[in-house]
Chain A
């Protein structure tokens, strides 16, 4: 296979682009989680507000990535960040908001109210309840949202190569420009493998971070 030879010959380049790709996605996902999870928690007790916030996040999700890059470019160019990693990270953070906020909201609002009542009866305050009951119980759903967002972001980050963000999209971009099939296929293969790898990694994380009690309860369900 020519792709394999291409990857072998350019191992160093492949490695550096992969690391670049991972760093963009990891940074934007962490930033998105820092913004999205608290938002999801805040809106979890206000159904109308939740509907509004989720609708806004849905609008961002609907705008195609290359159009979003295009819309942001002249705006960010004022500050001198029109091209490069900054617009890519902003776009990825915006795209991640919908899965993260929605899953946090769904996870917390689906907790049986009797559990929250019990916690209240035990004398737990708002914060303690959040920390001891709501977040741990919603954890699998929240991580699933992060997982969706991460896999999606890997694909979008590939497009961000066109605005100079680097990453594995560079292989695809340059491969198309040169009609160099091996380069395109190597880029596509590496991005797909990265996405699958991250997906499996997040699935494992989901397993670890799920509290033991829920797992047992889950197993007993038919």
Chain B
């Protein structure tokens, strides 16, 4: 009986540590990452991955606000120092068209060329069916990126 209780306490402590510091559970609210992630789905954010290396293009990242209770989930499309332009809905990085197989439909967004600072990434949601005005996307500072979506 005593061993069972100790085992339970250890498991509970481990679970707490994992979900508090390593894999942050996130409930998705909104449509900005459809069809990749659906509204109401539960995913996990790997909070340790960017301790070893910086975010890479194509990765879906969690971006914190004043804390971790509300985070934005977006995909990295451009890296620090790169220039990005959106022409008729198509993303160009340093003048070259970016292949985006995760985008199924897109509106003809127009975004003039922006050049990212050394500590900035450019993030966009996968759902490009709405007007650009109804979609939160753009530059984000590296320190705001909390981790990567696990799957």
Do A and B pair up? The answer is no
